[in-house]
């Protein structure tokens, strides 16, 4: 083990900032990170063992105990549920003889749920040893079970199991652009850096991750900082359930994204960029590395880019299963080899970001837009969309429609038109912006896609009239409790309390005061949480409670009070100990 780890740490230049990359390699090789491995890494990196343990325990894809030789994770997104994920994971569990959330005794296989893997247009989906599986069916599960039991190496599995499609159904400004490599960069250098920043300013481009901060302003602030080192980070930690457009952009438009990052580097004066790629997109890692290599060979990355005095390079860093790392300051912490805990603000990343140096963090789609603006100028972009939301937005559409996939629309497009284009019928409502966004009902379809109306990072999940709203609220609420980083009290405790309280109501144990208590709890979590995760974690409940209070009320029992736990179920241990199961050994919950 020691020589392997030494080699891994050495190839990461003995840098503790590269801890995640090191742990990924060790996890992949040994299927866990043992106490001995931790000691070796700690010594080589000269960091405390506790830093390593805390990182392992923070990220879902790292383990202190061995996983199976085949480590299967099934995506737990609401869209996977809608496509029958529950019965498929049950089938896996039965046929492989392994309980969900555990490792089989012979350590051949382990099985668990995982947060949305970004394959909502081609689910039910999963990951095996980190690699994406799409279009899971009963038939395919049968085949997978056989392959596992016969211990066939993954490399010999049918390639179509791992096929990921782009599914681009509607293109506009950005997805139709074909720029030759280096074009945006040449245009930037010819026009001048200040002039190009002015074009971005004219374009009105706002960050595409969801928050919508003005891009030109962010870059301007960063360039004004009196520091010699600056960093450019592309946020490709696309974790919001229902979002997969960055996956498609990186699969088919990566050159433009890298070019957008290089334009940013030239303007703010940065020599080093990072792309933080979510761990679930491991299948994109090698193709992206190849593109970076190609760009280096073409003189578009490295020293003296395009014969100018610009030096810039990009490093790809993989995440390891933590939604919170999509939050920019948590992402920076993660890039530094730490747990993804959002920082206190101020200071903001533009003044103190990566290694406390001025840093621009932008979404994949933002850099794609920058490449376009650098070539074509800002006006063409600003002419599309609305006054406050210029340009186009790339949507990831999933759920109940005929054509799930990628759709690019000018801002200001109505929900009605989008639903029409993707072939959605009998629509009950749409979750715009993922679990952290808003649920809109069927009488709000005249509303529009825009920062000033319905903002979204890209997630757009459609539900038809056969769906139960409480199912999705439950799925989303559990998601947030699972992904809370645990830093602050209102989110750490509050999201778990929300899960308990909602389950109590949904499972039919709620009584008259319980919806009021639920709403009250929502306000605490929303108003006092440290970051966007906690501040939006109650949105699924709040936005549906506001629109469909009757659905919640209907769940309630017609009694004044009911305990938060199941009295009779709590007696089960006692019954087993006493070896009794007669009627006197049971309790009714409450006299009704």
Interacting residues toward another protein by CB under 8 A: 48-51, 53-54, 57-59, 322, 339, 344, 346, 481-490, 492-497, 500, 521, 524, 527-530, 564-565
Nearer to another protein, 62 or 411 (CB): 62
**What are the CA-CA distances from residue 241 to residues 294, 326, 333, 396, 422 (Å)?**
32, 12, 22, 10, 19
Answer for the pair 71, 32: CB distance below 8 angstroms, yes or no. no
Q: Which is nearer to another protein, 287 or 347 (CB)?
A: 347
Q: For another protein, give the closer residue by CB, 79 or 495.
A: 495
Half-sphere CA count of 36, side-chain side, radius 13 A: 7
Decide whether 52 or 282 has the Cβ nearer to another protein: 52
Nearer to another protein, 527 or 553 (CB): 527
Nearest to 405 by CA among 458, 446, 469, 467: 458
> Shortest approach of another protein to residue 372 CB, angstroms?
35
For residue 177, the minimal CB distance to another protein (Å) is 40
Q: Closer CB to another protein, residue 225 or residue 562? A: 562
User: Do the beta carbons of residue 474 and residue 551 sit within 8 Å?
Assistant: no
Q: How far is residue 478's CA from residue 420's CA, in Å, rounded to a whole number?
A: 31
CB of 533 to another protein, least distance (A): 10
Minimum CB–partner distance for residue 317 and another protein (Å): 19
Euclidean distance between CA atoms 164 and 160, whole angstroms:
9
Q: Using the CB atoms, write b or e for 396-420: b if 16+ within 10 Å.
A: bbbbbbeebbbbbbbbbbbbeebbe
Q: Give the shortest CB-146-to-another protein separation in angstroms.
A: 35
String of DSSP letters for 247-267: HHHHHH-HHHHHHHHHHHHHH
Cβ neighbors of 441 (< 8 A, separation 6 or more) are: 428, 429, 547, 548
Which pairing describes strands 109-114 and 359-363: parallel, antiparallel, or unpaired? unpaired
CB 20 within 8 A of CB 320: yes
Q: Which is nearer to another protein, 59 or 276 (CB)?
A: 59
**Could you tell me the smallest distance in angstroms from the CB atom of residue 340 to another protein?**
9
Q: Quote the CA–CA distance of 351 and 531 in Å, as a whole number.
A: 19
Cα–Cα distance, 26 to 9 (Å, whole number):
10
Nearer to another protein, 120 or 533 (CB): 533
Please tell me the distance from the alpha carbon of residue 129 to that of residue 155, in angstroms, as a whole number: 11
Q: How far is the CB of 113 from another protein (least distance, A)?
A: 15
Start-to-end Cα distance in the chain: 63
* Residue closer to another protein (CB basis): 239 or 378: 239
| CB-nearer residue toward another protein: 329 or 448 | 329
State the nearest-atom distance from the C-beta of 46 to another protein, in Å: 12
Which CB sits closer to another protein, 57 or 452? 57
Side-by-side strand order, sheet with 109-114:
102-103, 109-114, 70-75, 126-128, 131-133
Minimum gap (Å) between residue 86 Cβ and another protein: 23
Does an H or E element contain 147, and which?
helix 138-149
Integer Cα distance of 104 and 261 in angstroms:
45
Residues 529, 522: Cα–Cα separation, whole Å: 11
Least distance (Å) between residue 338 CB and another protein? 11
- In the bound complex, what is the minimum distance in angstroms from residue 61's beta carbon to another protein? 12
Residue 109 forms beta bridges with which residues?
70
Please report how close the Cβ of residue 548 comes to another protein at its closest, in angstroms. 25
Q: Are 474 and 506 in contact (CB under 8 A)?
A: yes
In the complex with another protein, which residue's Cβ is closer, 60 or 362? Answer: 60
Rounded to whole angstroms, the Cα distance separating 215 from 206 reads: 5
């Amino acid at each position: 083990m020691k020589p392997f780890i030494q080699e891994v740490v050495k190839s990461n230049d003995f840098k503790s900032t590269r801890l995640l990359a090191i742990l990924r390699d060790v996890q992949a090789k040994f299927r866990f990170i043992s106490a001995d491995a931790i000691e070796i890494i700690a010594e080589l990196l000269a960091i405390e063992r506790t830093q390593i343990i805390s990182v392992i325990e923070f990220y879902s894809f790292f383990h202190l105990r061995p996983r199976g030789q085949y480590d299967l994770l099934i995506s737990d997104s609401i869209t996977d549920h809608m496509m029958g994920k529950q019965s498929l994971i049950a089938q896996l569990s039965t046929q492989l003889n392994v309980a969900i959330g555990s490792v089989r005794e012979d350590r051949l296989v382990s099985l668990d749920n995982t947060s949305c893997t970004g394959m909502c247009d081609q689910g039910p989906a999963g990951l095996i040893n980190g690699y994406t599986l799409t279009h899971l069916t009963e038939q395919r599960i049968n085949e997978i079970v056989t392959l596992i039991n016969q211990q066939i190496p993954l490399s010999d599995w049918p390639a179509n199991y791992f096929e990921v499609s782009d599914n681009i159904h509607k293109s506009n400004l950005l997805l139709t652009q074909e720029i030759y490599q280096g074009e945006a960069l040449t245009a930037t250098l010819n026009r001048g850096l200040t002039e190009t920043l002015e074009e971005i300013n004219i374009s009105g481009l706002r960050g595409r991750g969801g928050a919508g901060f003005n891009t030109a302003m962010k870059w301007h602030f960063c360039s004004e900082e009196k520091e010699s080192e600056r960093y450019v980070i592309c946020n490709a930690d696309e974790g919001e359930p229902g979002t997969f457009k960055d996956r498609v952009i990186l699969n088919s438009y990566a050159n433009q994204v890298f070019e957008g990052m290089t334009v940013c580097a030239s303007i703010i004066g940065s020599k080093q960029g990072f792309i933080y790629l979510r761990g679930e997109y491991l299948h994109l890692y090698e193709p992206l590395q190849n593109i970076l290599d190609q760009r280096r060979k073409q003189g578009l990355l490295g020293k003296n880019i395009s014969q100018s005095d610009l030096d810039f390079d990009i490093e790809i860093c993989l995440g390891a299963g933590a939604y919170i790392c999509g939050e920019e300051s948590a992402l920076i912490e993660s890039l530094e080899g730490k747990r993804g805990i959002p920082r206190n603000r101020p200071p903001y990343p533009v003044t103190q970001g990566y290694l406390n140096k001025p840093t621009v963090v932008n979404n994949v789609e933002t850099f794609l837009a920058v490449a376009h603006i650098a070539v074509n100028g800002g006006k063409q972009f600003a002419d599309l969309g609305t006054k406050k939301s210029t340009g186009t937005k790339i949507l990831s559409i999933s759920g109940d429609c005929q054509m799930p996939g990628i759709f690019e629309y000018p801002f200001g497009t109505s929900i009605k038109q989008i639903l029409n284009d993707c072939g959605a019928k009998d629509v009950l409502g749409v979750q715009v912006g993922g679990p952290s966004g808003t649920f809109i009902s069927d009488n709000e379809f005249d509303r529009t896609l825009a920062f000033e109306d319905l903002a979204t990072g890209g997630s757009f999940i459609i539900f038809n009239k056969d769906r139960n709203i409480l199912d999705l609220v439950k799925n989303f609420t559990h998601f947030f409790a699972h992904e809370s980083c645990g830093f602050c009290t209102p989110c750490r405790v509050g999201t778990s309390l929300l899960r308990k309280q909602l389950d109590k109501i949904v499972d039919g144990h709620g009584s008259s005061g319980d919806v009021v208590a639920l709403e009250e709890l929502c306000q605490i979590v929303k108003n006092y949480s440290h970051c966007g995760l906690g501040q939006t974690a109650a949105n699924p409940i709040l936005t549906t409670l506001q629109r469909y209070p009757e659905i919640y009320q209907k769940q309630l029992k017609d009694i004044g009070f009911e305990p938060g736990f199941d009295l009779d179920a709590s007696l089960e241990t006692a019954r087993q100990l006493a070896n009794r199961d007669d009627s006197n050994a049971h309790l009714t919950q409450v006299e009704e």
